[in-house]
Structure 1
Amino acid sequence: MKEISRRNFMKMGATGALALAASSANAGVLEAKDIKFDEEYDVIVIGTGFAGSMATLQALKRGKKVLMIEKMGRSGGNSVINAGNMAVPNNEFQKAAGIKDSKEAFIADCLKDGQNLNHVDLLEVIYDRANDAFEYLKTLGVEFTGKVISASGHSIKRAVQSKNTSGAGYVLPMHDAIDKNPNAVTKRRTKFDDFIIDENGRVVGIKCREDYRFDHQLANDDKENKTGTPKCFKAKDGVILAAGGFSSDKWFRMQQVPYLKDNIETVSQPGATSGALVAAMKLGANPIQLSWIQLNPYTNPTERGFGTSALFTNHCANDYGLSVNPKTGKRFMNEHAGRKVKSDAIFACMAQSDKNDNYPVNICDQAAVDANNIAYTKKGVEEGSIKKFNTLEELAKAYNIPLEPFLETIKNFNEYVKNEKDPEFGKPLTKADVNGIGITKAPFYASETTPKILYCMGGVEINTKAQVINATTHEPIAGLYAAGEITGGVHGASRLGTMSMADCMVFGMVAGENI
């Protein structure tokens, strides 16, 4: 049995390793003829988040015996800590609100933020199938608020939200349905290491380690952690890769984007590493757009990770209010722009101090808070990441904002809302967008912002059937499917807000239907 070590593979880089794979068939992967399988299933799913769970459920619907594995002790990955908002173009709540949507408008929004790097055929699948996923989730018991909300980069409101404002509102019902199915097996603390192929190059199983313990203290858990008992599991119909992105893999992400230094925080859970992606690349999967890594422009420098104020900043302050530079008291961006545009603008604002800590202040009034789920604001106020003020003068004093230009900014913004047009930055302010809400009704709320690493747009290339594409043959790798953040092509340079759920749910569904 011949294998290439992970260290040597990564030293080669993707291009060199793939060239080797082309010259030496199936180099670096395990062959079934050399393997004694410990267990056998129809389908194996790697990952237990939105994409993996949806893929598992769809395969189970078809009568398949399915193994779903999770390397961490807790299932759900980043999906559990997701905000619970999902883009569903042309959904029932849009129609009830009189909002018109279309495939053309949806794709145009995605291409604008994605800088035309998106694979349009994949976007078309999401548009065509998002409502199927939405309706299926309701049958599992996922509860929605009935509202349609705005999200960064979308030209209209098209996102639905769970009642509990968390991805757990989706994951828990999905896992409950999986656990009740006699054909389903879920194994936690099970680390995927390698694919196993047959004599024709078809993926027929995986090598993994049971009783694996992720070690937060290691610089590179994928490379250094040797815990667990090796096992080989057979997958008669194939494997679905749904292991998420690599936001927490400092070394790997810095190879893609060197300026995202290892001291830049991420909102991802610590298990979001590159190991599964690297294994797919060893197999010959085509890696695309790995250098496009998205930052979250809503997170707070006073909190670790995602924190308690990000949803307030996004949906209350950015949607209905404004963001000001505390040095000038003036706005500096379109608060409803895409995440990359906003993150770049925030970094430029922060750089106006010697310590890079001129954090923007995001502001809204009570009407904006009332227009949203109270959970977005309540905990942040209680914990201090969101400040509450009786007057704008008190707010300005607390953040050392020059009062006169600040009050002029507020006055101008309220005029823009009244006139339904923002001549400075082009923020959408029509009645349909903000319902006449400006910054007029006390009390007033504020939070600070610094971008943190959020999402990896790149990954393995897939086609419209969720089959993984080989970099040398340009054909699907037999027996291998992928869905969610571990894939590339859907989002291009930057994804729209709430689009990760749409991507994961739709292509998880597609993978489970086709394998």
Structure 2
Amino acid sequence: MSAFDYDVIVIGSGAAGLSAAIEAAETGASVMVVEADDHLGGATRNSTGVVYAADTKTQAEAGVEDSADALYDYVLVLNQYAVRPDLIRMYADRSSGMVDWLTSLGCEFPANMLVHSDVSGVERGHTSKTFGLGISDVLINRAGVLGVETALGTRVDGLLMEDGRTVGIRSGETELRAPCVVIATGGFGNSPEMLAKWFPSAAYHGERTWAVHRDAPFILGDGITLGESVDAQITGYDRGLIQPTPCFDSRYVEAFLPPWIVAVNESGKRFMAEWDSYAVCGYLINEQPGRRCWAIFDRKTMVENGDDLSYADPYNSGLATSSWEEITIEREVEKGVVHKADTIREVAAMAGLDADAVEETIRVYNRDIEEFGEDRVFRKDGNGRPLSPVKEAPFYAVEVRPAIIGFTAAGLDVNADMQVLDTRGKVIEGLYAAGETLGCFHGKRYAGGGTSIGSAVIFGRHAGTVAGEQALAARSSEPAA
């Protein structure tokens, strides 16, 4: 009788965990997926379902020319080469195949849902027709067909180790043994303690901070905790995606500021194109004094544009919500959260800003819009609408914080075969990782929308294949009963 219950145990059932389970099962390995929640799918099922890829059939259908080399170069340059070239190269080379694989499982990526999800100018964001739920559903179905077993409501609190290698997991009083374990537990956006330790830029905003995957309650950093218990290297300190919000209502998942506002820092000066991609906007705000900014606008512009949510929904998901509508703004004025006044100078002073500087900033902005019809300083795009000057009272000032966590990027270090490394850089035999629990893939700048799910699928598949093959090799070397 085998000393193991399964060949491969996967911890977590998001895109990374299910992809790993599928590929491990494809090798012929017996696989168990353990999930802390009461359903499969992890954070992926609640996402917009975008994957980031180059040189795909979808792009070709849309007439977009792209290549794996272009994607690779873009990510390296964006991060000033402070990323792992081997992992970026793997991602770039396998991204097209990742889309093909998901398509073969039943996921659709229509050409008319292809979007710009980075700052390269190339449409690389492949939106699933049925969004994140569609991706998770096809993965769940495929895992079921392959006979992958699942255990829900099972939070892993320990790894079993023998002679320096991983041989299983522990959940409470229950132990399951396997020669290979894949950690795919996601990030830690729902853990204030983990945020304080590993993502202080997000934790800085205190109670205003919350994560988009709050509906996946076990995104608590279990991968880091499990890794630390076996001396795994944790990397990616203070990295992740933070998105701007006026912090009015945590029901609103916002990634973009409206194009019709003017954002100024504490010095009263602009520092970005206000409708910059969420891949960079939060970082730009976080680099300002006090890690915040203020949105300045007038009532006329708000009323004329407040009902247009297209800026907030570039992926055409129909799921966009916004805090920037008149009824919400006026409610926050009554609460004293939003400042309102009859002059730019007065509203700036109410917000504690340099009134002279804000007046000059707005003067220059208005001049460029009225005389030249464009933002000549930051080249802001109006999202299909002409930009409007900010000049008719009353005026508003809204504090904006980069406080919504899109994902966390600190986590386990791995080699190119997704094997977890210890603090000396040595492989922890039998232990693999993929997905948001990795700390060695994302750099200081988010490459673009879809790299989170895309990397989960690509590296999850690779982890599953390697783990499955290693487990079968271990099984074949066991002495006969």
Determine helix, strand or coil for the equivalent of 1:41: coil
Q: Deviations over 1:176-226 (max 9, x none)?
A: 222343x21111110111111233x221211113xxxxxxxxxxxxxxxxx
Shift of 1:255: 2.2
Q: Does 1:424 align with 2:424?
A: no
Correspondent of 2:168 among 191, 205, 214: 205
**In the aligned structure 2, how far is the partner of 1:348 from the partner of 1:198?**
46
Shift of 1:369: 6.1
Determine helix, strand or coil for the equivalent of 1:285: coil
Q: Does 1:242 align with 2:190?
A: no
Residue in 2 that maps onto 1:511: 463
Shift of 1:258: 4.2
Residue in 2 that maps onto 1:285: 232
Shift of 1:331: 5.5
**In the aligned structure 2, how far is the partner of 1:412 from the partner of 1:141?**
50
Q: 1:264 to 1:115 in 2, by over 3 A?
A: farther
Q: Does 1:231 align with 2:181?
A: no
Residue in 2 that maps onto 1:302: 248
Shift of 1:493: 1.6
For 1:358-397, list aligned pairs within 5 A: 358-359=294-295, 375-376=317-318, 380=321, 385-387=323-325
Give the counterpart letter for 2:426 in structure 1. E
Give the counterpart letter for 1:249 in structure 2. S
Residue in 1 that maps onto 2:154: 190
Give the counterpart letter for 2:207 in structure 1. N
**In the aligned structure 1, how far is the partner of 2:310 from the partner of 2:269?**
20
Shift of 1:131: 1.4
Correspondent of 2:117 among 146, 151, 161: 151
Q: Deviations over 1:253-311 (max 9, x none)?
A: 212344524424222323221233122122132211223243123x4522216x25x26
**In the aligned structure 1, how far is the partner of 2:176 from the partner of 2:232?**
21
Correspondent of 1:120 among 47, 72, 85: 85
Q: Indicate the larger mover: 403-412 or 504-513.
A: 403-412
Q: 1:484 to 1:367 in 2, by over 3 A?
A: closer
Give the counterpart letter for 2:176 in structure 1. F
Give the counterpart letter for 1:185 in structure 2. E
Gaps (5+ residues) in structure 2?
328-337, 345-358, 389-395, 468-481
Give the counterpart letter for 1:150 in structure 2. H
For 1:70-219, list aligned pairs within 5 A: 70-146=35-111, 147-164=113-130, 166-181=131-146, 183-199=147-163, 201-209=164-172
Residue in 2 that maps onto 1:476: 427
Tell me if structure 1 keeps the 8 A contact 2:48–2:315: no
**In the aligned structure 2, how far is the partner of 1:302 from the partner of 1:435?**
24
Q: Deviations over 1:35-59 (max 9, x none)?
A: x98x711110011111111111111
Tell me if structure 2 keeps the 8 A contact 1:46–1:69: yes
Residue in 2 that maps onto 1:501: 453
Give the counterpart letter for 1:277 in structure 2. I
Q: Deviations over 1:120-167 (max 9, x none)?
A: 100000111111111111122222232321124444221110223x32
**In the aligned structure 1, how far is the partner of 2:154 from the partner of 2:69?**
42
**In the aligned structure 2, how far is the partner of 1:340 from the partner of 1:145?**
23
Determine helix, strand or coil for the equivalent of 1:478: strand
**In the aligned structure 1, how far is the partner of 2:364 from the partner of 2:148?**
61
**In the aligned structure 1, how far is the partner of 2:122 from the partner of 2:275?**
11
Q: 1:423 to 1:102 in 2, by over 3 A?
A: farther
Tell me if structure 1 keeps the 8 A contact 2:262–2:274: no
Residue in 2 that maps onto 1:220: none
Give the counterpart letter for 1:253 in structure 2. L
| RMSD between aligned residues | 3.8
Q: Does 1:333 align with 2:272?
A: yes
Tell me if structure 2 keeps the 8 A contact 1:154–1:496: no
Shift of 1:338: 6.2
**In the aligned structure 1, how far is the partner of 2:57 from the partner of 2:178?**
38
Q: 1:323 to 1:125 in 2, by over 3 A?
A: farther
Tell me if structure 2 keeps the 8 A contact 1:288–1:488: yes
Tell me if structure 2 keeps the 8 A contact 1:109–1:155: no
**In the aligned structure 1, how far is the partner of 2:124 from the partner of 2:100?**
15
Determine helix, strand or coil for the equivalent of 1:500: helix
Give the counterpart letter for 1:508 in structure 2. G
Shift of 1:438: 4.3
**In the aligned structure 1, how far is the partner of 2:307 from the partner of 2:368?**
15
Tell me if structure 1 keeps the 8 A contact 2:21–2:33: yes
Give the counterpart letter for 1:470 in structure 2. D
Determine helix, strand or coil for the equivalent of 1:488: coil
TM-score (norm 2): 0.74
